Structure 1
């Protein structure tokens, strides 16, 4: 059994949004122009990403960061840092602030980039890597982000699924990529990734347009880019710990703060109910103090789902952008067969949160986001379209197009 003074085992970074240390909380990364939006900047622009996290041990630590260029499938491009970075290959995070007036002591670290020290020079997918004491064998956080050099335009439209059996539950994205420069072989050189609500559990890869026309590639094949519409996200509000806001049943203060949410019901099989949500996002907010970053406390939030286990061999999880939609030990729920109830607790910073329940079947290795929530073609969702291009003779894929469309704009 490890002691408080034991040396942690060496780890390696993986190419995903991941927290590697149990004392790290509330990772955020978004374009400064739109809070909690897709972490994407246009190459050569003045746009910046804000990246931040909290260290729940308090005090100050020496954290370094670097970036790595990735392929469209989020594996390393295998390039030298001089191929994709200007200026320095790594730098220290120097912006940190201590929590104030909170029961949970923590230190908040933040970074705005690209900056004068670390700056990407080619477009594509990137992984931001944060590590301790300048040693990449001591990973702390990894975060995906995108650098866009727009050279194509994208027109996208969401409709109800044309497949009769899925018409009431699914949404289909049709899109066209317009290009002014010739793309010699779109089947080999072009890939288009479609994502629902920025959720890596809901992505589809397109490698073959249905029609190739002069100056445009059309992706309208009947069964492709067909997504379960799912349901509007559930939500709760813990901006204040002085009163019980939306979906909060109980607030208990002792050595820390515990919040119990009202028990959730399975909504699959119900009729569509229009709820206003944030498509899975979360916002750190604090109505009890002045500074959201340093005066927001950490709360042990208890979730309860009243539902029967869908299969005999699987696990239920609670997910959202707040935990990078990860199915891990922290997000896993415990099932009590006698009460037909799932439950679990997570430590979260004060704010507004969207969440939903998913089922991971161990025998099929499939994740089902609809079994507890239901799926409706009317649900409001945002869809992101990323266009990647490998130029003839190039060693890497570039991100040359991006658009986002909202079903509520129909």
Structure 2
């Protein structure tokens, strides 16, 4: 008899009379219990071998490009939906290998720090434990051939039952060891109200560079015994994990209202507006484009980028780090948007002996790795790199990693100003002493300009 690993843990939990699922049937006897524990051992070993701790947004296959994940109400928005509201998120990506592949997906409930909640699938998932991704289309009239995949969640096959953090996993051939990508999903159960505002820093020395968040959480709908331990609030700037700050202790408590306005907490560097480029058309040079070459593949050379760490703020419109797949030369950028080799250069007034420059944005999940690392050209005194990107409008910035500290820092190259337009996400998590998982009970989006 063949023992199948696929979803065996869920099947064992559902059928306590040994492994009595539709894939295999073992009678309730000594042999059945032997198979039961064998299946359980295999499944637990497999899960521990390929689990992440904690989870993050990642792309594990270099052929996977242009990953988008957002609430369908607005393109490139923060991937948060209200539980059982009818809202959905859209996952979209390209596979540059072309053809069609057997991609599967699932979602897993996580705690507020993105570690697995380790609760039974039946407690947080409605429908199947996983499903096949069947919505795809082939590229047309493009030099670079690819297959475009899309998925909307929740759907009839997979939907969350409870609020909280969920990690979306996409993998090949139903084998979770062949992970393709992961994405963070925020499922909100609106059980608290949030009032917030953005002010200048209370620190006089930081008023020209920083933005301070003051907010209040009203938890009248919750049973809270200890607000300091039961409720935690995460603040993020432009949806970036590396900018996030936890507010675990309120400054004051007034009835069922938690007030967070301490003088020196939740004080963010405003940073600068993102740099951008526009490749909606590969026929004409647009803003920031120096040359477009049409050979066996498209090559786009951008104008050189200067250092921007001056004290003076210069406004320029940006999308707070996001990107949009667009194509003015075709009818549907999902399948007729082409790819191009994008060449970037940066005059950082530094050398590779001092540190390393990286280029980041939502298009590469702000990852500081070999794919975002820039090379140094000593003759011209510039850092440079090229990225293979799909047509569209992109925001990006440069991050400096000094050899002496080995810490990523975007202020050194980009500068920081209190006038910078930014989005802030406030996420309220609730976990009383007797609970086994973290609930996401509130979400609020703030903008420094839109009041």
Pairwise same-fold verdict (TM > 0.5): yes
User: Which stretch shows the higher mean deviation, 379-388 or 313-322?
Assistant: 313-322
The 1-side partners of 2:225 and 2:89 are apart by: 34
TM-score in terms of structure 1 length: 0.95
- Partner residue in 2 for 1:74: 114
Which stretches of structure 1, 4 residues or more, deviate above 6 A after TM superposition?
none
- Partner residue in 1 for 2:281: 240
CA contact (8 A) 2:352 2:376 kept: no
The 2-side partners of 1:367 and 1:225 are apart by: 20
- Partner residue in 2 for 1:367: 408
The 2-side partners of 1:100 and 1:213 are apart by: 61
Greater RCO (Cα-Cα under 8 Å, separation 6 or more)? 1
- Partner residue in 1 for 2:300: 259
- Partner residue in 2 for 1:346: 387
- Partner residue in 2 for 1:131: 171
Given candidates 105, 109, 113, the residue that maps to 2:145 is 105
The 2-side partners of 1:363 and 1:135 are apart by: 42
Indicate yes or no: 2:206 matched with 1:166. Answer: yes
- Residues 249 and 11 of structure 1: is their aligned pair in 2 closer, same or farther, counting only changes over 3 Å? farther
User: What does residue range 213-362 of structure 1 map to in structure 2 within 5 Å?
Assistant: 213-309=254-350, 312-362=353-403
User: Which stretch shows the higher mean deviation, 102-111 or 264-273?
Assistant: 264-273
The 2-side partners of 1:254 and 1:13 are apart by: 42
CA displacement, residues 274-293 of structure 1 (integer Å, 9 cap, x when unaligned)? 11111111110000110110
Indicate yes or no: 2:41 matched with 1:34. Answer: no
User: Which stretch shows the higher mean deviation, 308-317 or 223-232?
Assistant: 308-317
Equivalent position SS for 2:182: strand
The 1-side partners of 2:351 and 2:271 are apart by: 17
User: Which stretch shows the higher mean deviation, 181-190 or 287-296?
Assistant: 181-190
- Partner residue in 1 for 2:65: 25
Equivalent position SS for 1:125: strand
Question: Which structure 1 residue ranges, 5 or more long, are not aligned?
Answer: 1-9
User: Offset at 1:332?
Assistant: 1.0
In terms of fraction of residues, the more strand-rich structure is 1
TM-score in terms of structure 2 length: 0.87
Indicate yes or no: 2:186 matched with 1:155. Answer: no
The 2-side partners of 1:398 and 1:34 are apart by: 25
Indicate yes or no: 2:95 matched with 1:44. Answer: no
The 1-side partners of 2:170 and 2:142 are apart by: 26
CA contact (8 A) 1:311 1:361 kept: no
Indicate the structure (1 or 2) with the bigger Cα radius of gyration. 2
Equivalent position SS for 1:264: coil
Aligned length: 401
User: Offset at 1:329?
Assistant: 1.3
Indicate yes or no: 2:245 matched with 1:204. Answer: yes
In terms of fraction of residues, the more helix-rich structure is 2
Question: Which structure 2 residue ranges, 5 or more long, are not aligned?
Answer: 1-48
CA contact (8 A) 1:200 1:325 kept: no
The 1-side partners of 2:185 and 2:213 are apart by: 23
User: Offset at 1:119?
Assistant: 0.7
CA contact (8 A) 1:12 1:139 kept: no
CA displacement, residues 131-166 of structure 1 (integer Å, 9 cap, x when unaligned)? 000000000000011000011111111111111111
- Partner residue in 1 for 2:180: 140
- Residues 85 and 258 of structure 1: is their aligned pair in 2 closer, same or farther, counting only changes over 3 Å? same
Given candidates 120, 128, 141, the residue that maps to 2:160 is 120
CA contact (8 A) 1:285 1:292 kept: yes
